Amino acid sequence: MTRVAVVVNPSKTRAKGVADRVAQGCAERGWPEPEVLETAVDSTGRDQAAAAAGAGAELVLACGGDGTVRAVAHGLAGTGAAMALVPVGTANLLAHNLGLATRDTGRAVDTALDGRRRPLDLGLARLGEDGSEHPFVVLAGIGHDAATVADTRDDLKHRIGWPAYVTPAARHALRRPVPVRVRLDDGPARDVVAWSVLAASCGRVRAGVQIAPGALLDDGLLDVLEVTVARPVGWLPVAAKGVLGLRRDVPGLRTRRAAELEVTADQPLHVQLDGDIMGRVDRLRVRVQRRAIDVVGGAR
């Protein structure tokens, strides 16, 4: 018998009815009625997840988009409670990396209740001189990749989903790289002229693209990608690597592995965590909390 809680983002249209479906699923399995907690603009899931775990929940379902997922993961880290996903957002990045259904909420609920569990790393990012750590479970980026996300219209994302990123991506692909300094673990800082620097805990984004095919969810390491494309034609080998899932470096994209990353710039640059814009900073520090939580990652 498993005690279940559901953290729901009520702003997501597809979240309607999920709590009832979870309650039905728990009843069918002879489990107690689940606790349902809603997020708010100023409380996006971390506190709700931590409270649920503190009250004895063994399994906490995150019903929302990528922002809800990373907040719930942060709240559950170190509690012993497992996280499961009912993805109802635009990109649903972690769900895709776990091979979960993203269009059928009924199927997603069944998988959440019955699926196998596996360990998951939690990425933690410090922005500028702010001492707070902000969570991510898939990808952190600084530079033009984050500027692309910032330039994408929310109304289009809600209407058409991930294709809303296509036009901003094409526009920002033509932007010039900027000088940054990159430090991995305790190594020396290196000067890099980069379009973007990304730290990936998972390798897959959308449309079948694998930006870091060697990335593992639970090894305590990040795949650090230095994107240095300076001309439009330079995107061809990078695109081929993503579509074909090539593990070797190609011109314009260098990958290294590290447990910690620091990127500094002479000017503030956009930062994104799992597709959520975090503002502009001139310094980004990232580390990994290895196997911080268990996540339901597919059928048993």
Question: Are both 275 and 131 inside the same structural domain?
Answer: yes
Domain contains 64: yes
Rounded Cα gap, residues 230 and 208, in angstroms: 24
Rounded Cα gap, residues 260 and 199, in angstroms: 9
Rounded Cα gap, residues 228 and 234, in angstroms: 9
Question: Are both 77 and 145 inside the same structural domain?
Answer: no
Question: Are both 150 and 263 inside the same structural domain?
Answer: yes
SS3 244: helix
Question: Are both 277 and 246 inside the same structural domain?
Answer: yes
Question: Judging by DSSP bridges, how do beta strands 4-8 and 35-38 pair with one another?
Answer: parallel
Rg (CA), the chain: 19
Question: Are both 175 and 286 inside the same structural domain?
Answer: yes
Whose tokens are 């809800």? That residue is 68
CB-based contacts of 127, cutoff 8 Å, min separation 6 = 134, 271, 278, 279, 281, 283, 284
CA dihedral 245, 249, 251, 253 (to 10 degrees): 80
Question: Are both 35 and 174 inside the same structural domain?
Answer: no
Question: Are both 137 and 260 inside the same structural domain?
Answer: yes
Question: Are both 154 and 54 inside the same structural domain?
Answer: no
The last residue of one of the domains, among 90, 115, 140, is 115
- Pick the closest to residue 119 from 182, 76, 158 (CA basis): 76
The last residue of one of the domains, among 89, 115, 141, is 115
Report the pLDDT value the prediction gives residue 300, as an integer from 0 to 100. Answer: 45
Distance of CA 281 to the CA centre of its chain: 19
Report the pLDDT value the prediction gives residue 207, as an integer from 0 to 100. Answer: 63
pLDDT tens track for 141-193: 999 999 998 888 777 777 777 777 778 777 877 889 999 999 999 999 999 99
Stretches in the chain below the pLDDT threshold 70: 206-208, 298-300
The last residue of one of the domains, among 97, 115, 133, is 115
Report the pLDDT value the prediction gives residue 212, as an integer from 0 to 100. Answer: 87
Domain of residue 82 covers 4-115
